[in-house]
């Protein structure tokens, strides 16, 4: 079960692109209905962490730091400098050293009525790094059953969080039910390793279409799940649908090469996720992009989405990828690598 088929997972990258673009639309006032993209990201993350450690967990945490930290720190320091020099350009971000340090080291803190770091979308990275720690600890216990051990830890922590009202912000934050979505992703990995590999060569075109269409249907339901009762936790509103969509689409498209554009946007989804709000702000403040709901506003929305994707691809090609490769050569060397068939830019966010 632990040895993944040597298949390029274009479908995973495409889903990362979908998740990132959904979050972009969430921050465009015309739509404001794409928060579910985060839940899809978490499911993808649970799957990918299992996949890239199938052969070996060596250097796991070092690789995660190399992949996540450089771009996030660069963005955090840039936003902090803006808050220091031109605070009028930002809404709630202030140039406080304590908040900067907590942000850089993924420690959740409360800012007003929200828990947001300096680079505000980094709140999801606080969950990601917590998950990586649990996953690394699980591998230290048993590599073969790492997904099971980590899932049990996540379930236990989320359960305690429902029973105990923690005072410290980090404990309240990390024990929220949303962490269960990483377990959903690990469950998808386990099922796909049992089902997708064996049938990859015998699956018919019709069955692929049916599975992919079913996944697309689950995905299409996610925006409508936004309107369910606000009291329902994300795993109930979006996480289950995200896991079903992920499994069906990846199963249906296992081994299928997809068009380059969605895969490239998936590669660049980390940059797209972190920096798109600032591109949106430029269009909003300088061009008045979303005043009213006329044709101009919707054309500007399309232009914003395309611009965000294009800038993210440039960031990936000329910042993310070179920095990651340089740091990997320096700190990881040429030891066992993640399965070569997972696109080189793959990461959780």
Q: What are 284's two structure tokens?
A: 């909003």
- State pLDDT tens for residues 161-204: 999 989 999 999 999 999 999 999 999 999 999 887 655 555 78
- State pLDDT tens for residues 247-285: 999 999 998 999 999 999 999 999 999 999 989 988 887
Per-residue model confidence (pLDDT) at position 249: 97
pLDDT of 322 > 80? The answer is yes
**Residue-number span of the structural domain to which 325 is assigned:** 10-193+261-331
Query: Is 97 a domain residue?
Result: yes
Q: Which of 69, 137, 48 is nearest to 328 (CA)?
A: 69
Q: pLDDT confidence of 30, banded at 50, 70, 90?
A: confident
Which of the two residues, 87 and 340, has the higher pLDDT score?
87
Query: Is 251 a domain residue?
Result: no
Per-residue model confidence (pLDDT) at position 317: 96
pLDDT of 289 > 90? The answer is no
Spell out the SS3 assignment of the chain: CCCCCCCCCHHHHHHHHHHHHHHHHHCCCCCCCCCHHHHHHHHHHHHHHHHHCCCCCCCHHHHHHHHHHHHHHHHHHHHHHHHHHCHHHCCCCCCCHHHHHHHHCCCCCCECCECCCCCHHHHHHHHHHHHHHHHHHHHHHCCCCHHHHHHHHHHHHHHHHHHCCCCCHHHHHHCCHHHHHHHHHHHHHHHHHHHCCCCCCCCCHHHHHHHHHHHHHHHHHHHHHCCCCCCCCHHHHHHHHHHHHHHHHHHHCCCCCCCHHHHHHHHCHHHHHHHHHHHHHHHHHHHCCCCCCCHHHHHHHHHHHHHHHHHHHHHHHHHHHHHHHHHHHHHCCCCCCCCCCCCCCCCCC
Query: Is 16 a domain residue?
Result: yes
Query: Is 126 a domain residue?
Result: yes
What is the Cα–Cα distance from 169 to 185, expressed in whole angstroms? 26
What is the Cα–Cα distance from 78 to 159, expressed in whole angstroms? 38
Per-residue model confidence (pLDDT) at position 245: 98
Q: Cβ–Cβ contacts within 10 Å for residue 50, how many?
A: 23
Domain count, the chain: 1
Per-residue model confidence (pLDDT) at position 200: 54
Q: Cβ–Cβ contacts within 10 Å for residue 209, how many?
A: 11
Average pLDDT, the chain: 88
Q: pLDDT confidence of 347, banded at 50, 70, 90?
A: low
CA 322, 132, 238, 289 dihedral sign is negative
Per-residue model confidence (pLDDT) at position 4: 45
Q: What are 207's two structure tokens?
A: 């069955």
Per-residue model confidence (pLDDT) at position 349: 58
Find the mean pLDDT for residues 6-33: 90
pLDDT of 338 > 50? The answer is no
pLDDT of 5 > 60? The answer is no
Query: Is 228 a domain residue?
Result: no
Q: pLDDT confidence of 140, banded at 50, 70, 90?
A: very high
What is the Cα–Cα distance from 61 to 99, expressed in whole angstroms? 24
Residue with tokens 């936004």: 226
pLDDT of 209 > 50? The answer is yes
For 65-79, 144-158, 223-237, 321-335, which range has the lowest pLDDT when averaged over its residues? 223-237
Q: Phi then psi for 114, rounded to 5 degrees?
A: -125, 160
Per-residue model confidence (pLDDT) at position 304: 94
Q: What are 76's two structure tokens?
A: 């955090």
What is the Cα–Cα distance from 349 to 45, expressed in whole angstroms? 7
In whole angstroms, what separates CA 110 from the centre of its chain? 22
- State pLDDT tens for residues 87-99: 776 777 777 899 9
Cα distances (angstroms) measured from residue 202 to each of 75, 197, 205, 239, 257: 46, 10, 10, 30, 17
Query: Is 25 a domain residue?
Result: yes
Per-residue model confidence (pLDDT) at position 83: 87
Query: Is 232 a domain residue?
Result: no
Find the mean pLDDT for residues 122-148: 97
What is the Cα–Cα distance from 78 to 82, expressed in whole angstroms? 6
Per-residue model confidence (pLDDT) at position 95: 76
What is the Cα–Cα distance from 188 to 178, expressed in whole angstroms? 16
What is the Cα–Cα distance from 221 to 33, expressed in whole angstroms? 12
- State pLDDT tens for residues 98-110: 999 999 999 999 8
Which of the two residues, 291 and 296, has the higher pLDDT score?
296
Query: Is 345 a domain residue?
Result: no
What is the Cα–Cα distance from 34 to 21, expressed in whole angstroms? 8
């Amino acid at each position: 079960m632990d040895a993944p088929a040597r298949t390029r997972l274009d479908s995973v990258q495409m889903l990362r692109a979908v998740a990132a673009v959904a979050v972009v639309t969430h921050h465009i006032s015309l739509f404001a209905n794409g928060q579910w993209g985060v839940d899809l990201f978490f499911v993808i993350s649970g799957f990918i962490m299992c996949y890239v450690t199938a052969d070996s967990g060596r250097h796991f945490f070092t690789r995660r730091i190399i992949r996540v930290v450089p771009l996030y720190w660069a963005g955090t320091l840039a936003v902090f400098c803006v808050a220091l020099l031109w605070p009028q350009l930002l809404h709630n971000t202030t140039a406080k050293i304590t908040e900067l340090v907590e942000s850089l080291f993924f420690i959740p803190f409360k800012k007003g009525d929200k828990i947001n770091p300096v680079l505000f979308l980094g709140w999801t990275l606080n969950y990601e790094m917590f998950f990586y720690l649990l996953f690394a600890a699980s591998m230290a216990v048993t590599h073969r059953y790492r997904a099971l051990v980590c899932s049990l830890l996540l379930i236990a922590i989320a359960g305690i969080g429902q029973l105990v009202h923690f005072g410290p912000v980090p404990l309240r934050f990390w024990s929220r039910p949303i962490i269960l979505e990483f377990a959903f992703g690990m469950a998808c990995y386990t099922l796909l390793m049992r089902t997708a590999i064996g049938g990859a060569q015998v699956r018919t075109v019709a069955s692929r279409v049916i599975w992919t269409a079913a996944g697309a249907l689950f995905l299409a339901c996610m925006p409508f799940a936004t309107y369910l009762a606000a009291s329902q936790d994300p795993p109930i509103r979006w996480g289950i649908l995200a896991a079903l969509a992920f499994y069906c689409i990846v199963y249906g498209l296992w081994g299928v090469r997809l068009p380059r554009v969605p895969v490239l946007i998936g590669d660049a989804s980390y940059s797209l996720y972190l920096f798109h709000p600032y591109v949106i702000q430029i269009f909003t403040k300088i061009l008045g992009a979303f005043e009213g709901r006329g044709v101009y506003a919707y054309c500007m929305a399309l232009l914003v989405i395309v611009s965000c994707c294009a800038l993210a691809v440039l960031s990936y090609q000329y910042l993310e990828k070179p920095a990651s490769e340089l740091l990997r050569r320096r700190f990881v060397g040429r030891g066992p690598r993640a399965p070569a068939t997972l696109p080189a830019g793959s990461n959780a966010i």
